[in-house]
């Protein structure tokens, strides 16, 4: 009667596992986009997705709307959903916004270092370094995301944290390959940042975060400049694109 949910086993109230189909579908499609299984500009036919995932079109539609809300797909009325194809300009702007949001987060986090998050920050930082040493890019990227997410949380501003997390997810999609580029330097900066937060030095925390995210941004833009065609610059195809099965 009373829902089979075990009322949170342990102490992990975060990450509310999807209970509705639309949420599962949302995550499935998002995973496909991030992993590259669905390329930018690709048409997402509801029928195919529904069939592939073994559900009806309804939850697929709703998942697509959610994805559209977060900027992952573009919804053209009467035409359907297309994987969002970020232009170089947009990626740059997104990274700039990330800099803005996370810089403020770092400042706010330093405002009240007694919140006790620095220990967790250091733990994540250690994991990140270890991942780099082990040449485990995926783990390093994950740790990076986790670190930045925790800092936004420690800012104490939930609205800010929510916005930053959305932006960060998209950024992560864009610049995953960058992590390969400047792994060690990045984690050195993280360590300094944590020091500043722990010391309650707002200005320093702000400055380090700004420099850090700007480094990442420049690194991305340089890499992108070297291989300008790789991330598919918005094909804008007129003819009906090949759909899922063709990929």
CB of residue 184 vs its own copies: minimum separation in angstroms? Answer: 29
Q: Give the chain as a DSSP string.
A: ---S--S-SSS--SS----SHHHHHHHHHHHHHHHTSS-TT-EE-HHHHHHHHTS-HHHHHHHHHHHHHTTSEEEETTTEEEE----HHHHHHHHHHHHHHHHHHHHHHHH-GGGS-HHHHHHHHHHHHHHHHTT-HHHHHHHHHHHHHHHHHHTS-HHHHHHHHHHHHHHHHHHHHHHHHSHHHHHHHHHHHHHHHHHT-HHHHHHHHHHHHHHHHHHHHHHHHHSTTTT------SSPPP-GGG-
Distance CA 95, CA 40 (A): 18
Only one of the segments 74-82, 136-144, 165-173, 190-198 lies at the binding site for DNA (rule: CB under 7 A); that segment is 74-82
Residue 4 or 226 having the CB closest to DNA: 4
Sites of contact with its own copies (CB under 8 A): 19-20, 23, 61-62, 65-66, 69-70, 77-78, 90, 93-94, 96-97, 100-101, 104, 157-160, 163, 167
- Residue of 2, 11, 15, 246 interacting with DNA (CB under 7 A): 2
Residue 57 or 120 having the CB closest to its own copies: 57
Residue 72 or 187 having the CB closest to its own copies: 72
Contact partner at residue 119 from its own copies, DNA, none, CB < 5 to 8 Å by partner kind: none
Contact partner at residue 101 from its own copies, DNA, none, CB < 5 to 8 Å by partner kind: its own copies
Residue 78 or 228 having the CB closest to DNA: 78
Contacts (CB under 7 A) with DNA, residues 25-44: 43-44
- Residue of 36, 47, 232, 247 interacting with DNA (CB under 7 A): 47
Give the CA distances from residue 236 to residues 34, 102, 117, 184, 229, in Å, rounded to whole numbers and listed in that order: 20, 33, 45, 38, 14
Contact partner at residue 238 from DNA, its own copies, none, CB < 5 to 8 Å by partner kind: DNA
Contact partner at residue 45 from DNA, its own copies, none, CB < 5 to 8 Å by partner kind: DNA
Which candidate, 16, 14, 24, 19, places its Cα nearest to that of 62?
24
Contact partner at residue 90 from its own copies, DNA, none, CB < 5 to 8 Å by partner kind: its own copies
Indicate whether 80 belongs to the interface with DNA (CB under 7 A): yes
Any idea how long the chain is? Answer: 247
Indicate whether 66 belongs to the interface with DNA (CB under 7 A): no
Interaction site with DNA (CB under 7 A) = 1-4, 20-22, 43-48, 55-59, 61-62, 75-81, 238-240, 243
């Amino acid at each position: 009667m009373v829902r089979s949910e075990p009322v949170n086993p342990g102490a992990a109230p975060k990450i509310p596992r999807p209970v509705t189909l639309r949420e599962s579908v949302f995550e499935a499609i998002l995973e496909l986009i991030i992993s590259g299984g669905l390329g930018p500009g690709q048409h997402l036919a509801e029928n195919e997705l529904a069939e592939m995932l073994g559900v009806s079109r309804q939850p697929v539609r709703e998942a697509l709307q959610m994805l559209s809300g977060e900027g992952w797909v573009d919804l053209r009325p009467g035409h359907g959903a297309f994987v969002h194809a970020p232009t170089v300009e947009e990626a740059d702007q997104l990274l700039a916004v990330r800099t803005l949001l996370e810089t403020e987060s770092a400042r706010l986090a330093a405002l009240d270092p007694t919140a006790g998050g620095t220990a967790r920050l250091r733990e994540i930082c250690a994991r990140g370094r270890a991942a780099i040493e082990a040449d485990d890019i995926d783990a390093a990227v994950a740790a990076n995301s986790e670190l930045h997410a925790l800092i936004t949380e420690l800012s104490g501003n939930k609205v800010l944290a929510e916005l930053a997390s959305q932006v960060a997810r998209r950024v992560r999609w864009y610049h995953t390959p960058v992590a390969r580029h400047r792994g060690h330097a990045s984690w050195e900066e993280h360590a300094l940042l944590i020091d500043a937060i722990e010391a309650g030095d707002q200005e320093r925390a702000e400055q380090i975060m700004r420099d850090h995210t700007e480094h990442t941004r420049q690194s991305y833009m340089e890499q992108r400049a070297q291989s300008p065609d790789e991330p598919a610059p918005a094909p804008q195809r007129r003819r009906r694109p090949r759909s899922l099965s063709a990929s």
